[in-house]
Structure 1
Amino acid sequence: MSDHLQITTAAGAFDALCGGSAGGQPVLLLHGFPQASTEWGHVVGELGRAGFHAVAPDQRGYSPGVRPEEVGDYRMDDLVADVLAIADELGWSRFDLVGHDWGAAVGWHTAAEHPDRIRTLTAVSAPHPAAIAAAYREDEDQHLRSQYISVFKERSAEKRLLADNAAALRQMFEYRVPPSHIEDYVTRLSEPGAMTAALNWYRATRWNVAPEAVSVPTMYVWGTEDVAFGSTAALACGKWVTGAYRFEMLEDASHWIPEEAPDALTALLLDHLR
């Protein structure tokens, strides 16, 4: 069971799901595209019951209260700043950080750039950005898997994803995500400006630079059926962690691990966080 929370920062008001009491060990969970905090509902509830204080915000562009219109407002620097601002508002000087997909990318950057704030990192699905970049250059399979990124940057991407009752958006989930969650995402991303804001994360990547290696204890969780990230990048991820590193491979799991295998992920998380 998770509750709703609003976290007001200088950038605006972030909507969030939360579980557990304020005195528990703090854990911040970041969602990916094209999702929202909804993807962490089960995990947040379980972490709360286990004594943690878990908070999953709707990130920049996904929270209506933080939806700037300019592409330049979705640079990685801004996304990392949001993480720290949210933690500051929650009174967290140091916390565990968990991210999936784009949320994992933000997590890699935050942990690399602010190791004093991050107790542990858990990245789900998306490897370290430098590992992805190397695989994109050297591995034809990863190069092909990453073609969707250029499609998302096109001006027509919003219309294409939302046409025919968001048929293309729905198809992305490969029947691996609960139908109620898909309806939630479609409703959210159909709001005026919401899909553009979400796609601006991709369009702003021209300003982003891959982070350095991560020194905090890190767990990377990858599903063998992930269509976006292949084994080359996944297996190279450890090269970009100088601290304690743990690689967990979920057989037959797709890109959508937090919703497809929430119990398996929660068990790994509890072990890592403790």
Structure 2
Amino acid sequence: MQVKARGLTFEVTEGGPEDGQPVLLLHGFPQDRREFDLLLPRLHAAGLRTYAMDQRGYSPGARPSGAGSYRIGEAVADVLGVLDSLGIESAHLVGHDWGAQVAWLVAGRHPERVRTLTAVSVPHPRAMMLALRVRPSQQARLAYFQLFRSPVAEKLLLGGGALVLRRMFGPIGPRADLYVKAMREPGRLTGGLNWYRAFRTADVADLGEITVPTTFVWSDRDGVVGLTAVLRTADWVSADYQLVAIRGVSHWVPEQAPAELADAVLARIGV
């Protein structure tokens, strides 16, 4: 389905019982709403109504020009706008990677719109900021940020038959083809990279404690987030909180460990 919000049109896949509790799923880079395909059947079987949306830069009708249009606050406003257009007062949020970053901000700044939060792979922004200050290893893990912000990032990722992009997706096997093919669409990769180009620490530096029930799912072979940021996330959630650590899995949790992630989401929602 297509959902119009804030003058943009977002691609959204809906599913599950129409009267089920609403769950909004937010993807990361360089994927799209299909990264949750393996998770959704379990949520539907539990009676939940799901909405997996392609965020700005990924939906063809939500691809504004200029990196400034991709500040994280714009993505937060998109979530609120989509919920409004769907007639949903509040929803359970599930976010992975950049989607988790957006979900943390929605939960922190608009808790009345969030029933529960399940953040996958990316910790509370303040926990990450602390880790970056005290752990040089965490700084090294995020060194790719500068590369993705560079003007040559598109050529690097898609050059040579998209070799670099395919290597990023190595652990998920043939499903990588879905995203590599999509990223060849004009403007789509630039839209995704503009999230990196637009990001400023000041955009998240004021985020306080999360007051909605929260689960943070982390995998021990994630090359992006180190243990300090993982453990200190608990400092920033005043509501019921659980850390779920999945062993032997890389950053691509929704596709490498959909059963474990479904268990965590369902336990958090309480169904």
For Structure 1 versus Structure 2, the TM-score category normalised by the shorter chain is: over 0.9
Q: What CA distance in whole angstroms lies between the structure 2 residues aligned with 1:231 and 1:76?
A: 24
- Correspondence for 1:185: 179
Other structure's SS at 2:10 match:
strand
Contact 1:19 1:49 survives alignment (8 Å):
no
Contact 1:220 1:248 survives alignment (8 Å):
yes
- Correspondence for 2:104: 108
Q: What CA distance in whole angstroms lies between the structure 1 residues aligned with 2:158 and 2:208?
A: 36
Other structure's SS at 1:17 match:
strand
Amino acid at match of 2:196: Y
Percent identity between the two aligned chains? 45
- Correspondence for 1:200: 194
Match among 80, 83, 100 for residue 84 of structure 1: 80
Report the alpha carbon displacement of residue 209 of structure 1 after superposing the two structures with TM: 2.8
Match among 13, 17, 24 for residue 21 of structure 1: 17
Deviation string, structure 1 residues 13-42 (Cα, Å, up to 9, x no partner):
111222202211000010000000010012
Q: What CA distance in whole angstroms lies between the structure 2 residues aligned with 1:127 and 1:247?
A: 10
- Correspondence for 1:65: 61
Report the alpha carbon displacement of residue 62 of structure 1 after superposing the two structures with TM: 0.4
Aligned length: 268
- Correspondence for 1:168: 164
Report the alpha carbon displacement of residue 10 of structure 1 after superposing the two structures with TM: 2.6
Structure 1, unaligned stretches of length 5 or more? none
**Bigger mean CA offset, 244-253 vs 41-50:** 41-50
Amino acid at match of 2:20: G
- Correspondence for 2:232: 236
Amino acid at match of 1:197: G
Q: What CA distance in whole angstroms lies between the structure 2 residues aligned with 1:133 and 1:189?
A: 30
Q: What CA distance in whole angstroms lies between the structure 1 residues aligned with 2:14 and 2:179?
A: 19
**Bigger mean CA offset, 199-208 vs 245-254:** 199-208
Other structure's SS at 1:202 match:
helix
Deviation string, structure 1 residues 97-117 (Cα, Å, up to 9, x no partner):
010000000000000000111
Deviation string, structure 1 residues 211-242 (Cα, Å, up to 9, x no partner):
22211110000001100001111111111111
**Bigger mean CA offset, 206-215 vs 39-48:** 206-215
Contact 2:14 2:49 survives alignment (8 Å):
yes
Q: What CA distance in whole angstroms lies between the structure 2 residues aligned with 1:164 and 1:77?
A: 34
Q: What CA distance in whole angstroms lies between the structure 2 residues aligned with 1:178 and 1:57?
A: 23
Q: What CA distance in whole angstroms lies between the structure 2 residues aligned with 1:158 and 1:78?
A: 22
Aligned-pair Cα RMSD in Å:
1.1
- Correspondence for 2:27: 31
Deviation string, structure 1 residues 168-188 (Cα, Å, up to 9, x no partner):
011112x22141x21111111
Amino acid at match of 1:176: P
Other structure's SS at 2:131 match:
helix
Structure 2, unaligned stretches of length 5 or more? none
Amino acid at match of 1:192: P
Contact 1:178 1:259 survives alignment (8 Å):
no
Query: Given the alignment of the two structures, is residue 209 of structure 1 paired with residue 232 of structure 2, yes or no?
Result: no
Report the alpha carbon displacement of residue 7 of structure 1 after superposing the two structures with TM: 1.2
Query: Given the alignment of the two structures, is residue 250 of structure 1 paired with residue 249 of structure 2, yes or no?
Result: no
Contact 1:16 1:57 survives alignment (8 Å):
yes
Question: What is the TM-score of this pair, normalised by structure 2?
Answer: 0.96
Amino acid at match of 2:32: A
Question: What is the TM-score of this pair, normalised by structure 1?
Answer: 0.95
Amino acid at match of 1:177: I
